[in-house]
Amino acid sequence: MSQSVAFIGLGAMGYRMAAHLPKHFDTVYVWNRNFEKAKQHAADYGTKAVSLEQAVQADIIFSCLPTSTDVETLISSVEIKSGAIWIDCTSGVPNSARALASSLKQLNIDFLDAPVSGQTVGAENATLTVMVGGDAAAFERALPALQAVGKLIKHVGESGAGFAVKAVNNMLLAVNLWSVAEGFSALKAHGVSLNEALECINASSGKSLVTETIFPQRVLSREFPVTFGLPLLAKDTGIALDLVKQAKLPAPLLSLTQSLIQAAHLTAEDNSDFSAAVKMYEAWTKITLE
Amino acid sequence: MSQSVAFIGLGAMGYRMAAHLPKHFDTVYVWNRNFEKAKQHAADYGTKAVSLEQAVQADIIFSCLPTSTDVETLISSVEIKSGAIWIDCTSGVPNSARALASSLKQLNIDFLDAPVSGQTVGAENATLTVMVGGDAAAFERALPALQAVGKLIKHVGESGAGFAVKAVNNMLLAVNLWSVAEGFSALKAHGVSLNEALECINASSGKSLVTETIFPQRVLSREFPVTFGLPLLAKDTGIALDLVKQAKLPAPLLSLTQSLIQAAHLTAEDNSDFSAAVKMYEAWTKITLE
Amino acid sequence: MSQSVAFIGLGAMGYRMAAHLPKHFDTVYVWNRNFEKAKQHAADYGTKAVSLEQAVQADIIFSCLPTSTDVETLISSVEIKSGAIWIDCTSGVPNSARALASSLKQLNIDFLDAPVSGQTVGAENATLTVMVGGDAAAFERALPALQAVGKLIKHVGESGAGFAVKAVNNMLLAVNLWSVAEGFSALKAHGVSLNEALECINASSGKSLVTETIFPQRVLSREFPVTFGLPLLAKDTGIALDLVKQAKLPAPLLSLTQSLIQAAHLTAEDNSDFSAAVKMYEAWTKITLE
Amino acid sequence: MSQSVAFIGLGAMGYRMAAHLPKHFDTVYVWNRNFEKAKQHAADYGTKAVSLEQAVQADIIFSCLPTSTDVETLISSVEIKSGAIWIDCTSGVPNSARALASSLKQLNIDFLDAPVSGQTVGAENATLTVMVGGDAAAFERALPALQAVGKLIKHVGESGAGFAVKAVNNMLLAVNLWSVAEGFSALKAHGVSLNEALECINASSGKSLVTETIFPQRVLSREFPVTFGLPLLAKDTGIALDLVKQAKLPAPLLSLTQSLIQAAHLTAEDNSDFSAAVKMYEAWTKITLE
């Protein structure tokens, strides 16, 4: 396509996502705070490592940063091309999306919150799920760019709705992770074979992505590969709880889960995978889930 | 096969499970407290409706009753054939299985706890998952009979292990059901489309059988079809919590879930499906999940 | 004293608190949205019912309103006398106190958050506890006015600290109320005499103001007198939880309590006393605490 | 009095309780597993150190042991005098009391569950609170002996009721301890002075024995004196939860508290005071409550 596109933030996800763009767009700018990474990306995939000022002159600008605060800071520091669409793939804060969309609208720029799911393997294969909040017309215009990186791409509501769905998804991941740890520790204490139990549950009503892949591949294997950090899961459960709070809803189970994940985060070793949250529980029970 | 087999307890599950046995066994006895059902089964499937005394003279005896107490009462009232295997498909209590297995062993009878998962549709199609606890040799001898009703059949440990896995499975079902209700109420309060959100989550890390089938088919559809009663789910979460307690483990998330499901059960209309537990939460929030 | 003083907000607490001021100050203005109440107060206690504009010309201005939002709205609508001290007795939001203190400081006005505890009887007898946040020098200057309405008057920290202590106090009240309801329902289910149990606990390590007065006088008596509304307790537990959240702390017990109180509030009859929160629990258990 | 009395179990509580008996009874036997302690008691207070066989020939027999299991084992090993009253001051299990009372009744022996509250200082001064379950006539006969060690002595119901009240009391202690830790950590994170906050709360509706004495004397002082061990509090919260479970009640707050206390117990240093449960929470938050 003749549109120009930029990708800002070449972390584990962004680096892989941006790699697909040259197949669909003639001009692909990349920028990263550590600029060496941008240059490496250009060398690897034929993108152009440019200054931030130039990147935000693209027609479509992706961002994928650790937090909404990072996105706010970055956007406030640049002058974005009028008429551009900003697609923010950060797992961010719904209120921040609403505020950014509203203020950018004044400058004739559309802002879509478009967090992704599917881990690095999904980014690698362009099979990410993208949940998008924001203006419906902007969503339609952004669709070709989104399709370059994702497979299931859904417009889930107004600004902030994408971030909201992502936060709830990750909260459910946290609930499942912790509850499976509790349940399987009880089974182990009673002498049950965890692998056989897992197989049964995966053919039954208690199954989840956690029982199907997270638990066997990360926990029972004792590998805890660091692909999605525990601090990020803690942040996301906090975002989900803010949604609950803003709506003045009681949410006993999600609240408790957030407290447990936050405690696990505060007591975890640096650079822990989210799945390592179960280690705090193991420290209580002295039962190793293996 | 020339072995005789009996099926005791022709409820929604048992009636369908027993229907498969005549394809594999020459002699199939059935018995039910309301004996009309046994006679109907004989007429429908070519089984033999017999007295309880005769049923327990079979080589292999299945039972599928509401609770372990029912099984204990029934077993204490009859004289079972020496050398028989009793396969109890009730969602029962691990301690009860251990006690029955131990006392029946004295009489040269094997007792396997063999709860099933897969709902009535799985019973209909003989595709149930069966999680079996008890003596390994007895499990091998029982396998052909188990294969007549199930697809995935696993020996998960000593006596009680089958019941334990089933209880934990159902506890995880309860956790998922309630947490999805909380999360989706927050999304709805923020104007997010629940069906689109569900589709995203089902392609993401927060997915579970609850998000894939239970929630769309039972809750969002407002159908709450009564295939697995809420009192039974409340009972099963209680069994899971007993496992936790016997092992002296802390289990904050499972404990809270059990309290919520028990409260939902105590306040539900008679004859509610387990999925109707979310109605208590809806009564708090005034948000209908549809 | 020759200082003038004003009292804004003549609710159940404010009406009684303002009644003590003429004993200590020559000029006492009162104002209330429903102005008839202000006129009645002037007739009853020799205060002066004046316009809001005049009230805020006093040297010391008390406010006692339902929420911090009410205080913010009111303050933003008037021109307060330079050099005045504003003493806000609302059970308010710490962040709001910080913002008001900071912006009023620009106008040479001191703002103290000074929530009170002690119910209407404490207001009547000028025996309230007052927990004060804000500038230490302003606290010293405000002390004579505070002593007119309270007995124990403490400077607990910077702006917002008074509101924070009040919110945590009310959260602990909520925790105690709900946990006593759970514990006593279990005792009643086991045939224990609740009055005798209460007497024992009040001489033991489990005692609290809830077991000493709230439970016997409001719950077991079935009176639930409406002196402190359930919506206000729900608001205060929310404020306490915001403190937790801003500090990024896990707080499983407070979080759960807030969810339960919020659910009780959402399902309660209009105009319920805070103690009526236990009615939601009674609806679960079918056990009446009497 | 001319009745003989025995005291079995001279731990921190029992040693001090038994010291009062010679003032009221002519014959006072004492027995302890480590018999040196019994001899020391005899030397200190004029009691008689006798064999267990002789001790159980007294008219009134006190026991004060770690757990109900210890009491059951001991009782099953001896032949108690017909017509005797056994007063068990252990913090025990209601079901155990019911079973012992029922089987001893066959032998014309009354069994009262009579746990005490008031710590070692209450034992020292004979000002304990005694909550008694069991036969009302036996209670009346036991009253003079109970009055020798306690001040407030209440018959709270049938067998097991005394243990039930004690368990709920200690559960409330646990709830208060943990919730104050959460609330005060939030206050400290916001720069509030904890001692001033405590003083305010102790004059307000959130007060409890925990805020009045436990927290200032044991936690904020960083002393954690070992007068009531954390394993015993964990045991007692478990007993309270069993009451809940037997009555099939939901109890979200008590269940969560029990999980937290159990986790704190499992991760605590050996020989920790119950108040040291807050150290697990401090390990999460990195905030020291001082």
Whether D176 and C180 lie within 8 Å, measured CB to CB: no
Q: Which pLDDT value is given to residue B1? A: 67
Task: State the CB neighbour count (10 A cutoff) for residue A98.
Answer: 19
Q: What is the dihedral of CA A214, A215, A218, A220, to 10 degrees?
A: -170
For chain A, the domains span: 4-158, 164-285
Whether A250 and C262 lie within 8 Å, measured CB to CB: yes
Interface of B with D in 223-262 (CB under 8 A): 238, 241-242, 245, 248-252, 255-256, 258-260, 262
For B127, C234, C242, the CA distances from C94, given in Å and listed in that order, are 59, 16, 9
Q: Quote the minimal CA–CA distance from A133 to chain B in Å.
A: 9
Q: What residue of D is the nearest CA neighbor of A259?
A: D284
Q: Quote the minimal CA–CA distance from B285 to chain C in Å.
A: 7
Chain A hits for D252, CB-CB cut-off 8 Å, are 252
Between CA D15 and CA D41 the distance in angstroms is: 7
Chain A hits for D284, CB-CB cut-off 8 Å, are 263, 266-267
Whether D176 and C201 lie within 8 Å, measured CB to CB: no
Q: Which pLDDT value is given to residue D43? A: 97
For B122, C12, C228, C229, C281, the CA distances from C271, given in Å and listed in that order, are 51, 14, 10, 7, 18
D164-285 in CATH: which number?
1.10.1040.10
Whether B250 and D260 lie within 8 Å, measured CB to CB: yes
Closest alpha carbon to A239 in B215, C95, B181, B183? B183
Q: Which pLDDT value is given to residue A27? A: 96
Q: Which pLDDT value is given to residue B169? A: 98
Chain B hits for C256, CB-CB cut-off 8 Å, are 256
Whether D205 and C206 lie within 8 Å, measured CB to CB: no
Give B77's DSSP letter. T
Whether A249 and C238 lie within 8 Å, measured CB to CB: no
For A39, B21, B236, D162, the CA distances from B163, given in Å and listed in that order, are 58, 23, 9, 35
Helix (H/G/I), strand (E/B), else coil: D221: coil
Q: What residue of D is the nearest CA neighbor of B248?
A: D262
C267/B contact by beta carbon, under 8 A: yes
> Of how many residues is chain A composed?
290
- The CATH architecture of the domain made up of B4-158 is 3-Layer(aba) Sandwich (3.40)
| Res. A1 pLDDT band, cuts 50 70 90 | low
Q: Which pLDDT value is given to residue D1? A: 67
Task: State the CB neighbour count (10 A cutoff) for residue C242.
Answer: 18
CA B82, distance to chain mean position in Å, is 27
Whether D196 and C246 lie within 8 Å, measured CB to CB: no
Q: What is the pLDDT of residues A33-88, one digit of tens each?
A: 999 999 999 999 999 999 999 999 999 999 999 999 999 999 999 999 999 999 99
Residue corresponding to tokens 């029946």: B104
Rounded to an integer, the average pLDDT of D187-208 is 97
Q: Which two tokens stand for residue A215?
A: 């638990």
Q: What residue of D is the nearest CA neighbor of C177?
A: D206
Rounded to an integer, the average pLDDT of C125-137 is 97
Whether A205 and B284 lie within 8 Å, measured CB to CB: no
Interface of D with C in 1-30 (CB under 8 A): none
Q: What residue of B is the nearest CA neighbor of A154?
A: B196
Q: Which two tokens stand for residue C94?
A: 């710490």
| Res. D233 pLDDT band, cuts 50 70 90 | very high
Provide the number of CB pairs (under 8 Å) joining chain A to chain C.
43
Residue ranges in chain B whose pLDDT is less than 50: none
Best of D245, D246, D260, D261 to substitute, by most chain B Cβ atoms within 10 angstroms, is D245
User: Residue D286 catalytic?
Assistant: no
Whether A266 and D256 lie within 8 Å, measured CB to CB: no
Chain A hits for C242, CB-CB cut-off 8 Å, are 245
List the catalytic residues of C. Answer: 166
Q: What is the pLDDT of residues C207-233, one digit of tens each?
A: 999 999 999 999 999 999 998 999 999
Chain A hits for D267, CB-CB cut-off 8 Å, are 283-284
Whether A157 and B206 lie within 8 Å, measured CB to CB: no
C189/B contact by beta carbon, under 8 A: no
Q: What residue of D is the nearest CA neighbor of B253?
A: D256
Look at residue D221 and tell me whether its pLDDT is greater than 90.
yes
- Catalytic residue chosen out of the listed positions B37, B81, B166, B235: B166
Q: Which CATH class is domain D4-157?
A: alpha beta
Q: What residue of B is the nearest CA neighbor of D253?
A: B256
Q: Quote the minimal CA–CA distance from B263 to chain C in Å.
A: 5
Interface of A with B in 61-120 (CB under 8 A): 94, 117-119
Q: Quote the minimal CA–CA distance from C255 to chain B in Å.
A: 12
Whether B263 and C286 lie within 8 Å, measured CB to CB: no
Supply the mean pLDDT for chain D.
97
Q: Which pLDDT value is given to residue C1? A: 67
Give this complex's ipTM. Answer: 0.95
Provide the number of CB pairs (under 8 Å) joining chain A to chain B.
264
Q: What share of chain D is helix, strand, coil (3-state, %, to 5)?
A: 55, 15, 30
- Long-range contact set of residues B67-76: C-beta below 8 Å, sequence gap at least 24: B67/B92, B67/B93, B67/B235, B68/B92, B68/B93, B68/B96, B68/B97, B68/B163, B69/B96, B71/B96, B71/B100, B72/B96, B72/B100, B74/B8, B75/B100, B75/B104
Best of A227, A253, A275 to substitute, by most chain B Cβ atoms within 10 angstroms, is A253
Look at residue C192 and tell me whether its pLDDT is greater than 90.
yes
CB-hemisphere CA count at 13 Å for B245? 24
Q: What residue of B is the nearest CA neighbor of C284?
A: B263
Q: What is the pLDDT of residues A228-261, one digit of tens each?
A: 999 999 999 999 999 999 999 999 999 999 999 9
Rounded to an integer, the average pLDDT of D17-45 is 97
Whether D129 and C203 lie within 8 Å, measured CB to CB: yes
Q: Quote the minimal CA–CA distance from C239 to chain A in Å.
A: 11
Interface of B with A in 127-186 (CB under 8 A): 129, 131, 151-152, 154-158, 160-161, 164-165, 168-173, 175-176, 178-180, 182-186
